[in-house]
Amino acid sequence: MESYKHSCPFCGQHIEYTVGYCGKQMQCPICGQSVTFPAIPPGRQGPALRVKSLEHTQDRKWAMRMPAALGFLRTFQHWNVVAQCAVPFFIVGALLAGAIFVKSKLGDATAPVAIPTVQADPDAWQHSIDLAKAEQVLKDRMKELAAAHAYADSAEQGRRQVEHGEEAQKKRAQEQVEGAQKNLIAARQRFEAAWSNYRKFGGTIDYRSQIKTY
C-alpha cells in the first residue's frame, strides 16, 4: 500500500501514513501533540483541481464561440428595423429625464412666509397669573360667606325655637346668633376685599350677583 509523509507542525518529526489516515488525527510519537493528516494525499488531484480543469475547458469553448457570434452580428441585415423600434423608447426616456431635472433643479422655490412680529407685553404673563390667583381667592371667600350665612340662619332658627323656653336657653341661643352675625360680617368683609383685588387685575365676572343677599 502506498504511504506518504507528513511533518508534525510542533516538533517537525516526519510521520509516515497511508490513505486510510487521510483527514484523521493521531498523536505525534515524539512530542505527543495531536497531528491532523491532509485530507488529500500529496500528488493526487482533488475535486477542486477537477473543477478548475472543467472551468478552463468551458472558457475555451466560449472563446471559440465568440468569433462566430460576432460574425453573426456583423452580417445581421435588419439593424435599421431594430433602430426604428428603439427610437421611441429613447425619446420617452429623454423626456422623463428632462422632467426630473427640471423638477429637481429649476422648480419654483417656495417663498418664505413672512411672520408678523408681535411686540409682547413683558408683564402680560405675570398679570394673567395674578388675575387667576385673585379669582381663586374670591371663589374661596364666596364659599366662606355662604357657610357663614348658613350658620347665621341656623342660629336664628334655634333662637326662635327657644323664645318661650327657659332664660338660660334663650341666653345661649342669643349668644350663638350674635356670634354667627359677627362671623357673617367678617366673611362679608373678606369677600369685599377679594372682590376689589379681583377687579383691580381686570376681572370681569360679576361674582357679587352670585352670592346670597342678607
Q: Give domain status of residue 42, yes or no.
A: no
Q: Give domain status of residue 157, yes or no.
A: yes
Q: How confident is the model at residue 49 (pLDDT cuts 50, 70, 90)?
A: very low
Q: How confident is the model at residue 30 (pLDDT cuts 50, 70, 90)?
A: confident
Max CA-CA distance within the chain? 143
Q: Give domain status of residue 139, yes or no.
A: yes
Q: Give domain status of residue 10, yes or no.
A: yes
Q: How many CB atoms lie within 10 A of CB 141?
A: 23
Q: How confident is the model at residue 211 (pLDDT cuts 50, 70, 90)?
A: confident
Tell me, yes or no, whether 31 and 55 share the same domain.
no
Structural domain tally of the chain?
3
Q: What pLDDT sits at residue 84? A: 60
Q: What is the DSSP letter of 210?
A: G
Tell me, yes or no, whether 136 and 204 share the same domain.
yes
Tell me, yes or no, whether 27 and 69 share the same domain.
no
Q: Measure CA 45 to chain center.
A: 61
Per-residue pLDDT tens for 60-117?
Answer: 655 556 555 555 555 555 556 556 666 667 677 777 877 787 777 665 545 555 545 4
Tell me, yes or no, whether 150 and 178 share the same domain.
yes
Tell me, yes or no, whether 22 and 51 share the same domain.
no
Tell me, yes or no, whether 134 and 181 share the same domain.
yes
Tell me, yes or no, whether 62 and 131 share the same domain.
no
Closest-CA residue to 203 (of 121, 146, 137): 137
- Kindly list the distances between the CA atom of residue 111 and the CA atoms of 107, 108, 115, 116, 117, in Å, as whole numbers in the listed order: 12, 9, 12, 15, 18
Q: Give domain status of residue 85, yes or no.
A: no
Q: What pLDDT sits at residue 87? A: 63
Mean pLDDT of the chain: 76
Q: What pLDDT sits at residue 148? A: 93
Higher pLDDT, 118 or 121: 121
* Domain span including residue 30: 3-36
Q: Give domain status of residue 91, yes or no.
A: no
Q: Give domain status of residue 41, yes or no.
A: no
Q: Give domain status of residue 69, yes or no.
A: yes
Tell me, yes or no, whether 133 and 198 share the same domain.
yes
Is the per-residue pLDDT at 191 higher than 90? yes
Tell me, yes or no, whether 69 and 11 share the same domain.
no
Give this prediction's pTM: 0.43
Provide CB contacts within 8 A for 162, sequence distance 6+. Answer: 169, 170, 173
